[in-house]
Chain A
Amino acid sequence: MFKKLLKSALGFSVKKGSGKTTSQPVEKRPLSADYDNNLQTLRQVFDQCFDILFREFFINADMPLRAFIVYVTGLTNHEMVNDHLLKSIMQETANLPSFVHLSKANVQQVIQERLINLDETSTTTDLIELVQKVLEGNTVLILDGSSTAIIAGVRGIESRAIDEPDSEPGVRGPKDGFVEALNTNMSLIRRRIKTSRLKAETFETGLLTKTQLAVCYIKGIANDKVVQEVKQRIGRINVDSVLSGNQIEELIMDEAFSLFPLVQYTERPDKAAASLLEGRIVILVDNSPMPLIVPVTFISLLQAAEDYYNNAVFATSVRLLRFVALNIALLLPALTVAAFSFHQELLPTALISTVAGARQGLPLPIVLEILMIEFAFELLREAGVRLPKTIGQAISTVGGLVIGQAAVNAGLVSPISVIVVATTAIASFTIPNYAAGTALRILRFVLIILAGFLGGVGIISGLMVILFHLCSLRSFGIPYLSPIAPLSPGDLKDTMVRAPWWAMLRRPWMSVSNEPVRQDPDQGPQKPGKGGQTP
């Protein structure tokens, strides 16, 4: 019996093959009223954990009432424990003259309600829950003669300070980024959306890690069915550990094998807040600075937060640029291969003669050439991720320029291939979404090979297959390619172009139709004459 308790307290409760969900109630083990029993139990549970400490003391000089606290030394705010918890119990009891006359049964209640001056306290009678709370950083107080333990929320978890987001920098717009602590992240969102309709529900996932997730949405704007679906899927997660947002993504995704991301990540609170206002759902993961945003459509992969802080016309042109860049990043190498191998008639004469001259005496057909350079580039890219920042710069310069030039001079590759691959790489960096970039990289290779086999026909076949695949994707019920297909014209204002704010009257299609209208129609800039003021 004791062993079983230990096991469940230590997290060994993976039931193989039972198929039950984690929302099933865990076995409970009540505390006993006996002080020594409790102490011994807890000491055994936390045996061989150097950072979980016990502090035994007596409450009040006049009463021989023993008590002890359990806490994790690294996760506790020691000042609060000392000043508010211990001090109020050990010393301030003198302020309550009737204290000494309390029976053992009442003491716990009195202490919690009158003496401990902390804002977060709760109680529990369950040992398992108690252990869990200690592990989360709370300090638990257990009194002699009471089978109720008091949990004091005096967590002091070291956390990174709010800093500029690495992966999504911007010129204009706020520069705070999410950090690892869940509460801090939630506060970053709350300070932007100050309505009680912003709901945030927590879930615990991962049997060993017990990671907290917070599902945030704005009630009335977000589609209720989608919210339900998200909550259901999270509830079904039944794994050992959840360490990153990516795991959550894979466990709640619609399709198992698509290359394209069905979930979006962001490191910027303003983007998260904007998504919430559009009717999406943000899932914050404790210990991860990248919350998930669902549902996602293909178009959002091309949108960057910066667009909304810049002039509408400029933002529109930048978006179009990005769209062109997307095409280049996917197709340029394949098109080059197809053009040079199969469809030479498409190229202007001047270009043909230059390139043909340059390609004299080269050992490889252009397909293999481009594949080779692409491969080399991928190597450089992957290596660059792991290098420290200082060396990284040097390598990219060295790799890009020197090696490329050397290869050309040595007669291995033609300059045109190097140019094509380099342009493609630069174009692929303009895609704001990292996961989409990875999808593009793989597809690019596939298309190059197809182009090598069948030229233009191969490219079109590849593109059609990709198109069909994209059309069949759904992210939590929303078709991936909306609002282009199925067509919803009102939403097109935010896809390729960025309409000015006064023109975006309706919320995106995916949100509930309860509140379709965002703002009044007549907000566009107007000449001042209407006010009746004479110059």
Chain B
Amino acid sequence: MLLYIIIMISGLLFMPGLTAEKAKQSAWIAIALASLPGFLCLWIVWKLGKRFPKNTLPEYTEIILGKALGKVVGGAYILFFLMVNILSVCEFSKFLTVSFMPQTPPIAFNAILVLIGAYAASKGIEVIARAAQFIFPLFVISLLLPLISVLPAVKVGKLLPFLEGGILPVIWGSVPSIIVYGEIIVLAVLLPMVNKPEEVKHKGAFALLAAAIFLSAGMMFTLMIFGPNLSGELLFPFWFLSKYIEFSSYLQRVEGIIALLWMVGIIIKIAVLYYLVCFATAKTLDLKSYKPVVYPMALVYIPAATFLFRNMTEFRQFLELYWPYLGFIFELVLPSILLFVAVIRKKQRSVSR
């Protein structure tokens, strides 16, 4: 049941990300490359999950690092998930504001997204999983549709010259995307709740792969249509791509529908992350149930999303300069340390599992 959501989630975790991404030249390889650390992250999560089959992330940080330090790390993770969530909300509402409904104050969008996420989170992860399963086909269509319909306008020549500046710019360019893949870390918290844990490795890898393919393809298409320089300038390259869809003379400008389908995807993402935040909070604070935390969290979310970044430029600057490194720490570094420490203390820990 939850397996599908993994695929789902990975796909949509990244898709909306693409809208706010800035392109770099020869960038499509960059995106594909960025997925590699994601696989590493998945592997680490999986190993940790095998070690502690019944425990979620906040729980085993306590076990591995001891109570005090573990709670600190757990708290840090809560903040991290919170940040990811807020970013997602921000991202989408800014997207809506800029391209769709400029006159609506962003707080409306933020409030709606957050409240729906809260409602979903209060119902539990199973409900979210089922909803994701339900929407999955629709979402895939919304991803494929722009790609397919844009095919006639594609000029492969714009991809050349290949690796113009050498490999280094490509690697630098892949950095911002890494954290997006790394969001698979959410698995760490969800792992005990999955029905068939042994399949997680495959499905998770498959999900990452699928996401990588989609994104690379998307990036490729963007480059092929707009050329490298223009792509770097565009705010929401994929969105612009959708504007190109034209079935016949009277079914044009359907990018609105695509945007709405994305909204569906991002609601799922927000719901999942919201659930994570509440769940992790409950575990770290040793509360019996996460339900009381859900709606008060909204009080934190909505103002944060609205006031944290004053405008789009600030937002993008944050995403470009600061966030990748922060994300890197939480998604790769910390889990590696956790695994490392767990292995070292192996004799004391895994026996009692």
Residues of A at the B interface (CB closer than 8 Å) are 342-343, 345-346, 348-350, 454-457, 459-461, 463-465, 467-469, 471-472, 479, 481, 484-487
Report how far A479 CA is from B130 CA in the complex, Å: 9
Chain B 85-116, CB within 8 Å of chain A: the 1/0 string?
00000000000100011001000110010001
Residue of B nearest to A456 (CB): B260
Check B134–A481 contact: CB distance below 8 A. yes
Residue of A nearest to B251 (CB): A348
Segment at the interface with A among B45-53, B119-127, B300-308: B119-127
Given contacts A346-B254, A455-B101, contact A468 B131 (CB under 8 A): yes
Residue of A nearest to B104 (CB): A454
Any A CB within 8 A of the CB of B257: yes
Any A CB within 8 A of the CB of B325: no
Contact sample, A vs B, 26 pairs, CB 8 Å cutoff: A348-B251, A348-B252, A349-B250, A350-B250, A454-B101, A454-B108, A456-B259, A457-B101, A457-B260, A457-B263, A459-B260, A464-B120, A464-B131, A464-B267, A467-B131, A468-B120, A468-B123, A468-B271, A471-B123, A471-B131, A472-B124, A479-B130, A481-B130, A481-B134, A485-B130, A487-B1
Residue of A nearest to B253 (CB): A345
Q: Which residues of B contact A484 (CB under 8 A)?
A: 133-134
A214 to chain B, nearest CB (A): 34
**Leading 9 A-B pairs by shortest Cβ distance:** A348-B250, A485-B130, A485-B133, A471-B130, A472-B127, A472-B123, A485-B134, A471-B127, A345-B253
Check A456–B256 contact: CB distance below 8 A. yes
Check A461–B119 contact: CB distance below 8 A. no
Chain B 59-76, CB within 8 Å of chain A: the 1/0 string?
000000000000000000
Most buried by B among A454, A456, A464, A472: A464
Q: Which residues of B contact A461 (CB under 8 A)?
A: 112, 116, 267
Residue of B nearest to A349 (CB): B250
How many chain B residues sit at the interface, stated as a range, is 35 or more
Q: Which residues of B contact A469 (CB under 8 A)?
A: 123
Q: Which residues of A contact B1 (CB under 8 A)?
A: 486-487
Q: Which residues of A contact B134 (CB under 8 A)?
A: 467, 471, 481, 484-485
Q: Which residues of A contact B259 (CB under 8 A)?
A: 456
Known contacts A461-B116, A487-B133; 9 further A-B pairs (Cβ under 8 A): A346-B253, A346-B254, A456-B260, A472-B127, A481-B130, A481-B134, A484-B133, A485-B129, A487-B1
A361 to chain B, nearest CB (A): 25
Chain B 244-258, CB within 8 Å of chain A: the 1/0 string?
000000111110110
Q: Which residues of A contact B123 (CB under 8 A)?
A: 468-469, 471-472
Report how far A468 CA is from B251 CA in the complex, Å: 31
Q: Which residues of A contact B253 (CB under 8 A)?
A: 345-346
Q: Which residues of A contact B250 (CB under 8 A)?
A: 348-350
Any A CB within 8 A of the CB of B135: yes
Any A CB within 8 A of the CB of B194: no
Any A CB within 8 A of the CB of B264: yes
Partner of A468, one of B4, B96, B127: B127
B79 to chain A, nearest CB (A): 26
Check B130–A457 contact: CB distance below 8 A. no
A258 to chain B, nearest CB (A): 12
B336 to chain A, nearest CB (A): 34
Check B256–A460 contact: CB distance below 8 A. no
Any A CB within 8 A of the CB of B180: no
Check A457–B96 contact: CB distance below 8 A. yes
Q: Which residues of A contact B101 (CB under 8 A)?
A: 342, 454-455, 457
Q: Which residues of A contact B254 (CB under 8 A)?
A: 346
Q: Which residues of B contact A487 (CB under 8 A)?
A: 1, 4, 133
Report how far A343 CA is from B258 CA in the complex, Å: 13
A-contacting residues, B264-311, CB 8 Å: 264, 267, 271
Most buried by B among A465, A471, A481: A471
Residue of B nearest to A473 (CB): B127
Report how far A455 CA is from B257 CA in the complex, Å: 12
Any A CB within 8 A of the CB of B57: no
Q: Which residues of A contact B264 (CB under 8 A)?
A: 460, 463-464
A467 to chain B, nearest CB (A): 5
Q: Which residues of A contact B223 (CB under 8 A)?
A: none
Any A CB within 8 A of the CB of B128: yes
Residue of A nearest to B112 (CB): A461
Check A467–B256 contact: CB distance below 8 A. no
Report how far A468 CA is from B117 CA in the complex, Å: 10
Q: Which residues of A contact B251 (CB under 8 A)?
A: 348
A408 to chain B, nearest CB (A): 25
A-contacting residues, B5-39, CB 8 Å: none
